């Protein structure tokens, strides 16, 4: 009996969907636009996270050591830093490598190279390049280094840490942390706003469908049709609109991301938009398909519920 009633509701909903073709098309269009924006936000979020990761990879804290510091002491500091949970990696650059890099960087500056030769000795000390797992953790690493500089001594007694450039990079690090937080918050608010817009517009579109079928609903109520049987077909129509919109978006974005990546991939700084879409397709499919179904069913239910209360 339940199966038979369910079958009738779905059949009636499909008939309403086809019969009210223009209104159904309007609902599909509205939901497609909303799902397009939501999918764009998801892909934009992926691109921004990739871009921020690229920027984060270029931000670090450098520890400069005095020229008399022994390699064993420096490697000991490196080992202690690598043990910190905040640290992602520590790169050791010896004084000889630092000098070679300096000469390579200033290979066209003869004046600087001549001055360097006149010194007779290597004026550059070894360096440690530290990368944190998150930009906000550099402050803690800098504090650790500040405390270590008081207790990390060479064999002759003075501290082996000459300088830590955290203060110079702090402005960039703080700005990067704020950008990451702002992007995350902005994405959430955009999603909420467009979800509400979609539900409101779809709600009014479904109400138009109900208004067209008002005589039919009145007859159903007069002959004693249950509330579920009256609501069911309109909710099914809303579900169909959501499902069709989701399918359009999923197929459309597969073609769109491929085309964008093929023709404009060079402008995305190495970010493969099509590969990202394919790699995250299951999550995107679940989000968009689920959103389409939820938008259609909620808007339809609210519209029918409001009408039946009148």
Res 291: pLDDT = 83
Share the mean pLDDT of the chain.
78
Q: Residue 49: pLDDT above 70?
A: yes
Residue 255: both structure tokens together: 């073609």
Q: Are 234 and 209 in contact (CB under 8 A)?
A: yes
* Cα 28 from Cα 206, distance rounded (Å): 11
Res 155: pLDDT = 45
Q: Are 130 and 90 in contact (CB under 8 A)?
A: yes
Q: Residue 172: pLDDT above 50?
A: yes
Q: In degrees rounded to 5, what are phi and psi of residue 21?
A: -55, -45
Q: What is the pTM assigned to this prediction?
A: 0.67
The class that CATH gives domain 67-159 is alpha beta
pLDDT tens digits, one per residue of 196-240: 776 677 677 667 766 766 676 677 777 766 767 777 777 788 788
Q: Residue 80: pLDDT above 50?
A: yes
Higher pLDDT, 48 or 89: 89
Q: What is the mean pLDDT of the segment spanning 295-307? A: 72
Locate the domains of the chain by residue range. 2-55+176-309, 67-159
Q: Residue 150: pLDDT above 60?
A: no
Closest CA to 209 of 31, 32, 18: 18
Closest CA to 101 of 130, 122, 78: 122
């Amino acid at each position: 009996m339940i199966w038979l009633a369910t079958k009738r509701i779905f059949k009636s909903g499909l008939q309403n969907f086809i019969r009210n073709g223009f209104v159904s098309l309007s609902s599909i269009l509205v939901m497609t636009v909303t799902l397009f924006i939501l999918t764009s936000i998801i892909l934009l979020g992926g691109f921004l996270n990739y871009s921020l990761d690229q920027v984060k990879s270029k931000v670090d804290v450098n520890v400069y050591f005095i020229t008399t510091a022994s390699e064993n002491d420096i490697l000991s500091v490196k080992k202690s830093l690598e043990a910190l949970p905040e640290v992602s990696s520590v790169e050791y650059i010896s004084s000889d490598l630092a000098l070679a890099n300096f000469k390579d960087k200033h290979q066209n500056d003869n004046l600087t190279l001549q001055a360097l030769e006149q010194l007779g000795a290597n004026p550059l000390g070894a360096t440690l390049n530290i990368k944190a797992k998150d930009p906000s953790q550099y402050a803690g690493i800098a504090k650790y280094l500040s405390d270590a500089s008081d207790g990390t001594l060479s064999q002759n007694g003075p501290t082996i840490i000459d300088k830590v450039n955290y203060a110079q990079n702090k402005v960039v690090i703080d700005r990067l942390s704020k950008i990451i937080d702002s992007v995350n918050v902005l994405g959430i608010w955009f999603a909420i706003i467009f979800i509400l817009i979609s539900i409101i517009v779809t709600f009014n579109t479904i109400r138009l469908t109900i208004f067209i079928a008002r005589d039919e609903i009145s007859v159903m109520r007069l002959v004693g049709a249950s509330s579920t049987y009256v609501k069911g077909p309109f909710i099914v129509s809303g579900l169909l609109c959501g499902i069709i919109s989701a399918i359009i978006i999923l197929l459309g974005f597969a073609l769109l991301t491929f085309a964008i990546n093929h023709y404009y991939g060079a402008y995305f700084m190495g970010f493969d938009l099509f590969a990202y879409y394919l790699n995250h397709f299951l999550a995107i499919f679940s989000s968009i398909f689920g959103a389409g179904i939820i938008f259609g069913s909620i808007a339809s239910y609210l519209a029918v519920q409001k009408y039946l209360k009148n």
